[in-house]
Structures are given as structure tokens and as C-alpha cells.
Amino acid sequence: MYHFLMFVVGLLALAAVGLPLVLRDRLISFPIVIVSVGALLTLVFEPGTFDPVANGFLSEHLAEFAVIVALTGLGLSIDRRVSWRGWMTTWRLLAITMPISIALTAWLGWWIGGLVPSAAVLFASAMAPTDPVLAVDVQTGPPTTGDPDADEPDEVRFGLTSESSLNDGLAFPFVNLAILLAIFGFEPSEWAVNWFLVDVLYKIFGGLVIGWVVGKALGWVTVRLVGGKGFAGMFDEGEGLAPAVMALAYTLVSFGLTEVAGAYGFIAVFVTAYVVRDTERTNHVHDHLHEGAEQLELLAMSVVLLLLGASFADGLFRLVTWEMIVLGLVLVLIARPVAGWVGLMGHAGATRDERMILSFFGIRGLGSIYYLAYGLNKADFSQADVMWALLCVTVFASLLIHGLTARKAVAWLERRREEQGLVPASPQESGPASV
């Protein structure tokens, strides 16, 4: 079976390179194919092999690796410089939409899903991170490296990419809150002060600071220390693995150092990649690094989704009820869109059509898998299997609905912009009424 798994991983690597190109103009998406193949794996393995609860350590750390690699790719892809006004879409989605979404999901998990309060909070927190990596049609493209003043012109792509880049880390305090509730119960005197000071303030601030420092150091090394052209010269000479290795090095250095310091590594990894991208923005090294990170990201994502499909077919599907299906559809089609619309209400930096797309595409995926596995490994939750089944239903619903509608939604938005005579422009260029 070990050698068979080597064979499967090899096929996954080939699929990660070629299948997205083959399916580019097809109705079916790459993640759906991988999940389906994962379900077929159960035909050749013993029952219980892919139990995510019994294999909690593997579930957590495979998903963790996939998330941090994806965060590096996202950080390298964003052109827009950080500012209060230019990132207003992001701030609204993080500060308003995410808390509303968590509260609404926790209530629905308790009311429809039958989860006890601590389990409902954990499930809601795990569902908080969005994941546009699983729908590349609504994600920003590669970094623009020829222009030092390059900016992401499309508010929808920028908003969804930047939101997912940061809420992967900002969901952590809520997950830790669920863990404390499971251990101590609803007695705030036992944990509230420590949770706020450590899990909220220190770990978020620490992740931001360490990520920035590491990003500055790695950006200087990359662009200046190794020759006049940095590593870009080495990349151009045919070192095909060099970009992926360098992107992986950035990811592991930033994540490992931040976690050792007890802060949130997810936040640090994104900040590091973004700061590296911001170092000498015209250098084409960033193109190569982004491409390398994207290759790693596709392979890691494929492994995690393959195992999720296998876990569902290996037994979790037996726990699925009509209530779970209803809850998954409500979360994807109602809860996130409502929370998104409330968060973006009155936002002058996006048109009404753009706010609709931003609200709808709250894609669930890798981050949700990691957080649920992490929470279940840290405390005793009696409904672990039920939460995994709920997660599978919700993530599969998201993959199907968002995967099938992403291209059509983007095409519809472009037609609407043409009809209204609007051209996507950054807030810095267009003023308060920018689109």
C-alpha cells in the first residue's frame, strides 16, 4: 500500500500540472475531479483507513501545509499596496462579514445541525476562512512586475484574494475560543482575559510583526544579495525547481519561526510573501516565485482534497442526514451571502454588482479542513464525526456550486460593466466612486 500511495501521489503531481489546463473550458472543475478520485480510493483500502478522527495528526498537518503554501502564493500575487482606503473591501469582509458569518453559522449548527454549543462554535470558526484557491476564476492573477506602480484593478478578484489571505489566520482566535469552551465551559472568568491578551492581541500582532521582519530580510536576500538580478537570473537559466524551492523556503522559515514564538504562522506567511513581493516590485523574480508557489499549492491541495473525498466515502457519508444537507446549502447560499452583503453595505469602493459577487463567493475548502482537525486534536468534542460529515457536505456543496458558477459570474460581471460603461479601476485611481 505504501508503494501504491507513491504511485497515486505521482499521478496527482501529473494531474496538478495538466488537468487544470484540460478542464479550463469545461463545466466540471479540477477540485471536483480530485474529490471524486479520492472516493474511489476506498475500493482498494481497508475500511477505516481514511478516518479523519483516528488520523487526526495527519489530517491537521497535511491541511496545514496546503494552507501555508497557498498563503505564500496569494501574498506573492497581490499588487495593491496596503492602505486603509485601498483595502477597504478587505477590512469590511474581515471585521464585519467574518464575525457575522461565524455567529450565524454557530447558531445554524446548533439549531439545524444539532451541535452542542462548543461544537457549534468550533464548526462555525472552521467555516470562517474563505478559499478562492479552489476557484481560480475569481482569484488575482500573477504579480505585475514590469510597473513599479502596478495595482490590482479588479475589486472582486482583489477582495476575495485578500480576504482569504488574512481570514485564514484571523479565524484562529475563534477556534481557540471553541477549544476553551470545550475544556472550561461557559465560565469566562476561567479563560476570557488570557484568551483576549494572548490568542487575540499577542498572536495576531506577533504574526504581523514577525512576518514583516522575515519578509524584509528574505526580500533583501532575494533581490539584492545574490547578484545584480537576484535569483531571477538563476531562474532564467533553466533552474526549473528553483522557484518552487525558494517559495517553499520562504513559507517554512516564516511559519516555523512564528509558531516557535507562539504567534499565528498563517498571518506571518502571507505578510512575508506580500513584503517579499513589495521589495523591488519591477524584478521578475516575483513571477518565478509565484509560479513555483502555485505548483506546490496545486499538489498540496490535490492531496488534501483526495483524502477528504476518501474520508467521506470511507464512512462519513453514513452520518449524513437531510438536516446536514439543508445546513450545508444554507451556509453556502444564504449565510455567507447575507453576511457579505451586510459587511459591504454602503461601500463606495465597489459597485452593487461587485458587492453581489464578493458576497456570494465565500468558498470553503482547505482552511476549514485544517481548523476542524486542529480543534478536534486540542480538546475532546463528543460530536467529532458529525462535524466532519457536516464539513464534507458544506465543502462539497461549495466546490460544486462555486466551481460551476465562477466563470459564468465573472463573465456576467464583465458584461454588466460594459453595459454600464465601467472599466475596473483601483480606488487610488478613481476616487470615492471607483469600481
- What CATH number is given to the structural domain containing 306? 1.20.1530.20
The answer to whether residue 13 sits within a structural domain is: no
Whether residue 251 lies inside any domain: the answer is: yes
pLDDT at 354: 93
Sign of CA dihedral 308, 177, 98, 77: negative
Q: What is the pLDDT of residue 417?
A: 85
- Three-state SS at 430: helix
CA distance 260 to 253: 11
Return the DSSP state at 134.
Answer: G
What is the C-alpha to C-alpha distance for residues 351 and 165, in angstroms, rounded to an integer? 22
C-alpha cell at 157: 478578484
Assess if residue 225 is contained within a domain: yes
Task: Establish if 135 belongs to a structural domain.
Answer: yes
Residue 23: Cβ-neighbour burial (10 angstroms; 0-12, 13-18, 19+): middle
Residue-level pLDDT at 28: 72
Cell numbers representing residue 80 in the block = 495593491
In a domain, 418, yes or no: yes
C-alpha cell at 168: 485564514
Q: Kindly state whether residue 162 falls inside one of the protein's structural domains.
A: yes
Q: Answer yes or no: is 434 within a domain.
A: no
Instruction: Encode the chain (435 residues) as per-residue pLDDT tens digits.
Output: 778 878 888 888 888 777 777 776 666 778 888 999 999 989 888 888 999 999 999 999 999 999 999 999 899 888 888 999 999 999 999 999 999 999 999 999 999 999 999 999 999 999 999 986 666 667 776 776 666 556 677 899 899 999 999 998 999 999 999 999 999 988 888 899 999 999 999 999 999 999 999 999 998 888 776 545 545 455 554 455 677 888 899 999 999 999 999 999 999 999 999 999 888 777 677 777 878 888 888 888 999 999 999 999 999 999 999 999 999 999 999 999 999 999 999 998 899 999 999 999 988 889 999 999 999 999 999 899 999 999 999 999 999 998 888 888 888 988 888 888 776 544 443 333 322
CA distance 140 to 153: 10
Contacts of 406 (CB under 8 A, 6+ apart): 29, 135, 137, 138, 361
Q: How many CB atoms lie within 10 A of CB 151?
A: 17
Report the candidate in 208, 182, 175, 180 with the shortest Cα–Cα distance to residue 194: 180
- The range of the structural domain enclosing residue 142 comes to 28-424
Number of domains in the chain: 1
The verdict on residue 21 lying in a domain is no
